[in-house]
C-alpha cells in the first residue's frame, strides 16, 4: 500500500514538472497521467479507460485564468484509488472531482510562496549578478509545488484507500447508479467550456456538421477531425485576405 | 563597444532549452518573468561582459511576462536579436527600453493566438480524437493524444525561436497587416467548431430508461427521442450548459448540479 501510494505520488510530481519544467505541452492531463499510474500499479488497461473518461469530463478545464479544478492530483489520486480498490470508472470519477477541487488550494499556497519568497530573492540575485541563484530560482516555484503535490497524493492514496472502500460500500445502490448516469452527462461541461473558446455565431454551420457526422454518418473521432481539417482548409484558401486599414 | 560581439549557436541553443522551463517559477507578480530572465542569461552574459552592463541587462528582463508557453521561444528569439543589436550599437541610437517594450507588446496578442491554437484547437482535437478511444481502453487514443499535442508544440517552439531571432518582429507585422494571421485564427476556429460539434455524440451520453405500459404497447421514451433525432438530449444539454457558463454560472456549481440531476433522474426512473 505504501509503495503503491509512493508510485502514484511520483506520477503526480511528474505531472507538475511537465507543466513547469518541460514546456506545458498539454500532456499533464488525465489521458496521459492515468495510464502512467495504471502502468506502475500493474493495470495499464484500467488506467487508459479511467484516463480517457476523466479527460472527457475535464476536457474544458484548462489552465487559463482561474483554475476551477486541479487535474494532476485529481486524476492521479482517483486513478490510483480506483485501481487499488478495484472501483468502477464512475466511482473513480466521483473521487476525482472533489480531490481536484480541493487541490486547487495547493496552487494558491504555492503561488503565495513564490510571490513572497522566490520573487524577492530573484530581485536581490539580479542586483548581485548571481546567475547561479537565478538558475535555481527559475526552477524553484515548480519544484515546491511538485513536492506538495507528491505529499498530498501520497497521503490521499495511502490513507484514503481504506476510507474510500468503507464509503463506497455504504453508498446506496440508487446513488451509485445515479452517479454512474451522471458521469455520462458531465462531459457536457467540458464541451461547454470548449465552446467558450471557439464558439462564433458565423461558424455555427460547422458546429452542426460536426454534430451530424457521427450522429447520422457514423464518423469516428479521427474521421470527424479530418473532415474539420478539410473545412478549415477550404475556409483558409477561399476567403480573400482582408487587409487592415491603417 | 568597439568589438563586434555576435551570438553563436551555443548561447542560442542554451536559451532555447531554457525556454522549456517557462513555468518553472510562476508568480503572481512576474508570472513567467523569472523564467524568462533565467532563459536570457546565456545570451546576456555573452553580450555584456562589463559587470554594470550585465546587471543592467538582468534588471531589464526581471519583469512581468506571460504568454502561451509554445510562443515563449519566439519572444526569446526576438529578445536575443534585440539584445545583440543593442550590444553592437555604436551610434547610441538604440534605446534598450524598446527590448522590454517589444516583449510587452507581443505577449498579449501571442497569448490570444496561442491560447486559441494550443488550448482551444490542438489540445481540443487531441482530446476529441484520443479520449473516446482511450475510454474504450484503446492505447491508440493515448498515443494519438500525445502526438497531436507534442508535434505542433515542438515545431512551433523550434521554428518560432529561429524565426524570432531572424526578423520575427517584421514577419509578425507582415502577416498581421496582410490579414493572413486573422484568416489563420479563423480557420482554426472552423476546425475547432467542427471537432466540438463532433465530440457531443461521442462523449456525452444521456441514457433514458423511462418506459410506460400503455394498453397493448409499450411506450419507450428513448425510442421516441431517437426518432426525432439521435443524440438530441446530449446536444440540448451541452447547449444549455454553455448558456449557463456564458451567463456566469460557476463551473463547480454546474458539476454538482449535474451530479444531483443524475441522481434525481435515476431516482425518478427516467435515467
Q: Which three cell numbers stand for residue B212?
A: 410506460
Residue B38 lies in a domain: yes
Residue B4 lies in a domain: no
**Interior CA angle at A87 toward A84 and B250, to 5°?**
110
Would an 8 Å CB–CB cutoff place B189 in contact with chain A?
yes
Mutate to test the interface with B, among A16, A31, A88, A239 (most CBs of B within 10 A): A31
3-state secondary structure of B241: helix
pLDDT-derived band at A169 (thresholds 50, 70, 90) equals confident
Would an 8 Å CB–CB cutoff place A233 in contact with chain B?
yes
pLDDT score of B101: 85
Whether B163 has a pLDDT exceeding 80, the answer reads yes
Q: Of B77, B105, B133, at which residue does a domain stop?
A: B105
- Alpha carbon of B10 to those of A132, B43, B85: distances in Å? 18, 9, 18
Domain range for residue B146?
108-203
Q: Which three cell numbers stand for residue A107?
A: 496552487
Residues B195 and B116 in one domain: yes
pLDDT score of B45: 94
Q: How far, in Å, CA of A102 to CA of A105, rounded? A: 6
B119-135 tens-digit pLDDT:
878 888 898 889 989 98
Which residue among A142, A185, A198 sits closest to B25, beta carbon to beta carbon?
A142
Residues B114 and B198 in one domain: yes
Q: Of B184, B203, B222, at which residue does a domain stop?
A: B203
**Angle (deg, nearest 10), helices A187-198 and A173-185:** 20
Whether B39 has a pLDDT exceeding 90, the answer reads yes
Whether B2 has a pLDDT exceeding 60, the answer reads no
Chain A 164-183, residues with CB within 8 Å of chain B CB atoms: 174-175, 177-183
Residue B183 lies in a domain: yes
Q: Which three cell numbers stand for residue B45?
A: 552574459
For residue B29, give the chain A residue with the closest CA: A115
Residue A66 contacts by C-beta under 8 Å, 6 or more apart in sequence? none
Residue B6 contacts by C-beta under 8 Å, 6 or more apart in sequence? B84, B88
B5-32 tens-digit pLDDT:
889 999 999 999 999 999 999 888 888 9
**Interior CA angle at B82 toward B174 and A118, to 5°?**
115
Whether A106 has a pLDDT exceeding 60, the answer reads yes
pLDDT score of A65: 45
pLDDT score of A244: 55
Residue B51 contacts by C-beta under 8 Å, 6 or more apart in sequence? A129
Q: How far, in Å, CA of A143 to CA of A151, rounded? A: 12
Q: How far, in Å, CA of B117 to CA of A197, rounded? A: 10
Q: How far, in Å, CA of A44 to CA of A27, rounded? A: 17
Q: How far, in Å, CA of A17 to CA of A8, rounded? A: 14
Residue B1 lies in a domain: no
A192-219 tens-digit pLDDT:
877 887 788 899 999 999 999 999 998 9
Residues B199 and B217 in one domain: no
Of B225, B269, B236, B210, the C-alpha closest to A178 is: B269
Residue B221 lies in a domain: yes
Q: Are strands B211-214 and B217-220 parallel, antiparallel or unpaired?
A: antiparallel
CB A147 within 8 A of CB A13: yes
pLDDT score of A29: 93
B98-111 tens-digit pLDDT:
898 888 888 888 88
Whether B1 has a pLDDT exceeding 50, the answer reads no
Q: How far, in Å, CA of B160 to CA of A103, rounded? A: 34
Bridge partners (DSSP) of residue B212 are: B219
Residues B191 and B223 in one domain: no
**Interior CA angle at B39 toward A32 and B172, to 5°?**
85
B138-157 tens-digit pLDDT:
999 999 999 999 999 999 99
pLDDT score of B104: 85
% of chain B residues with pLDDT over 90: 46
Residues B116 and B100 in one domain: no
For residue A204, give the chain B residue with the closest CA: B193
Burial class of A131 by CB neighbour count within 10 A (0 to 12, 13 to 18, 19+): middle
Q: How far, in Å, CA of A12 to CA of A9, rounded? A: 5
Of A94-103, B195-204, B239-248, which range is least confident? Answer: A94-103
Residue B23 contacts by C-beta under 8 Å, 6 or more apart in sequence? A19, A20, A21, A24, A142, B32, B35, B69
> Region A210-237: what's the mean pLDDT?
91
pLDDT score of A245: 54
Residue B3 lies in a domain: no
Q: Of B105, B131, B150, at which residue does a domain stop?
A: B105
3-state secondary structure of A62: coil
User: Buried b / exposed e across B43-56, counting CB within 10 Å, b at 16+?
Assistant: bbbbbbeeeebbbe
Average pLDDT, chain A: 88
pLDDT score of A67: 55
pLDDT-derived band at A63 (thresholds 50, 70, 90) equals low
Domains: count for chain B? 3
**Interior CA angle at B13 toward A22 and B44, to 5°?**
105
B126 neighbourhood in chain A, CB within 8 Å: 26
Residues B113 and B157 in one domain: yes
Helix (H) or strand (E) holding B4: none
Task: Give chain A's length.
Answer: 246
Residues B192 and B246 in one domain: no
Which residue among A49, A51, A239 sits closest to B183, beta carbon to beta carbon?
A239
Highest mean pLDDT among A144-148, B91-95, B204-208: A144-148
Residues B129 and B190 in one domain: yes
Residues B231 and B188 in one domain: no
Residues B97 and B112 in one domain: no
B54-95 tens-digit pLDDT:
999 999 999 999 999 999 999 999 999 999 989 988 888 888
Count CB-CB contacts under 10 A for residue A34.
Answer: 33
Residues B146 and B78 in one domain: no
Residue B250 lies in a domain: yes
**Interior CA angle at B133 toward B127 and B136, to 5°?**
130
- Alpha carbon of A188 to those of B33, B232, B255, B256: distances in Å? 36, 13, 10, 13
CB A68 within 8 A of CB A43: no
Q: Which residue has the higher pLDDT, A41 or B132?
A: A41
Of A215, A192, A191, the C-alpha closest to B225 is: A215
Contact yes or no for B119 and A209 at CB 8 A: no
Residue B2 lies in a domain: no
Residues B146 and B194 in one domain: yes
- Alpha carbon of B123 to those of A55, A72, B126, B235: distances in Å? 11, 16, 5, 22
B192 neighbourhood in chain A, CB within 8 Å: 194, 197-198, 228
Q: Pseudo-torsion of CA A152, A153, A157, A159, nearest 10°?
A: -10
CB B43 within 8 A of CB A131: no
Residue B205 contacts by C-beta under 8 Å, 6 or more apart in sequence? A184, A185, B234
Angstroms from A195 CA to nearest CA on chain B: 7
Amino acid at each position: 500500500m505504501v509503495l503503491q501510494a509512493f508510485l502514484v505520488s511520483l506520477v503526480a510530481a511528474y505531472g507538475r514538472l511537465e507543466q513547469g519544467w518541460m514546456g506545458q505541452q498539454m500532456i499533464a492531463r488525465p489521458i496521459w497521467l492515468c495510464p502512467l499510474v495504471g502502468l506502475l500499479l500493474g493495470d495499464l488497461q484500467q488506467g487508459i479507460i479511467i484516463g480517457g473518461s476523466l479527460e472527457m469530463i475535464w476536457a474544458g478545464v484548462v489552465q487559463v485564468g482561474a483554475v476551477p479544478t486541479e487535474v494532476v492530483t485529481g486524476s492521479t489520486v482517483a486513478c490510483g484509488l480506483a485501481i487499488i480498490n478495484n472501483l468502477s470508472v464512475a466511482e473513480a470519477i466521483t473521487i476525482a472531482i472533489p480531490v481536484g477541487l480541493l487541490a486547487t488550494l495547493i496552487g494558491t499556497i504555492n503561488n503565495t510562496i513564490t510571490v513572497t519568497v522566490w520573487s524577492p530573492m530573484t530581485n536581490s540575485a539580479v542586483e548581485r549578478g548571481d546567475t547561479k541563484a537565478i538558475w535555481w530560482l527559475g526552477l524553484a516555484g515548480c519544484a515546491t509545488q511538485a513536492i506538495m503535490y507528491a505529499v498530498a497524493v501520497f497521503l490521499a492514496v495511502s490513507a484514503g484507500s481504506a476510507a474510500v472502500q468503507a464509503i463506497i460500500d455504504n453508498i446506496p445502490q440508487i446513488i451509485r447508479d445515479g452517479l454512474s448516469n451522471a458521469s455520462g452527462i458531465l462531459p457536457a461541461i467540458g464541451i461547454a467550456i470548449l465552446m467558450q473558446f471557439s464558439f462564433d455565431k458565423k461558424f455555427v454551420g460547422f458546429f452542426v456538421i460536426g454534430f451530424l457526422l457521427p450522429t447520422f454518418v457514423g464518423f469516428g473521432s479521427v474521421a470527424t477531425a479530418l473532415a474539420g481539417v478539410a473545412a478549415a482548409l477550404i475556409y483558409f484558401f477561399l476567403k480573400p485576405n482582408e487587409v487592415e486599414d491603417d | 563597444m568597439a568589438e563586434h560581439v555576435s551570438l553563436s549557436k551555443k548561447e542560442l541553443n542554451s536559451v532555447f532549452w531554457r525556454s522549456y522551463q517557462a513555468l518553472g517559477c510562476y508568480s503572481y507578480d512576474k508570472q513567467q518573468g523569472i523564467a524568462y530572465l533565467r532563459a536570457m542569461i546565456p545570451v546576456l552574459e555573452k553580450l555584456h561582459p562589463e559587470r554594470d552592463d550585465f546587471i543592467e541587462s538582468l534588471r531589464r528582463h526581471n519583469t512581468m511576462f506571460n504568454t502561451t508557453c509554445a510562443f515563449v521561444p519566439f519572444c526569446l528569439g526576438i529578445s536575443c536579436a534585440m539584445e545583440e543589436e543593442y550590444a553592437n550599437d555604436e551610434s547610441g541610437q538604440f534605446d534598450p527600453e524598446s527590448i522590454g517594450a517589444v516583449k510587452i507588446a507581443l505577449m498579449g496578442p501571442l497569448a490570444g493566438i496561442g491560447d486559441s491554437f494550443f488550448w482551444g484547437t490542438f489540445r481540443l482535437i487531441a482530446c476529441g480524437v484520443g479520449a473516446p478511444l482511450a475510454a474504450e481502453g484503446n492505447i491508440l487514443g493515448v498515443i494519438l493524444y500525445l502526438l497531436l499535442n507534442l508535434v505542433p508544440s515542438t515545431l512551433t517552439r523550434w521554428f518560432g525561436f529561429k524565426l524570432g531571432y531572424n526578423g520575427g518582429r517584421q514577419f509578425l507585422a507582415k502577416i498581421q497587416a496582410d490579414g493572413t494571421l486573422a484568416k489563420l485564427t479563423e480557420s482554426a476556429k472552423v476546425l475547432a467548431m467542427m471537432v466540438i460539434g463532433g465530440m457531443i455524440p461521442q462523449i456525452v451520453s444521456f441514457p433514458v430508461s423511462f418506459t410506460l405500459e400503455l394498453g397493448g404497447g409499450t411506450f419507450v421514451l428513448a425510442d421516441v427521442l431517437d426518432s426525432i433525432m439521435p443524440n438530441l438530449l446530449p446536444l440540448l444539454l451541452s447547449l444549455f450548459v454553455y448558456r449557463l457558463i456564458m451567463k456566469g454560472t460557476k463551473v463547480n456549481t454546474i458539476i454538482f448540479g449535474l451530479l444531483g440531476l443524475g441522481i434525481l433522474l435515476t431516482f425518478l426512473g427516467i435515467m
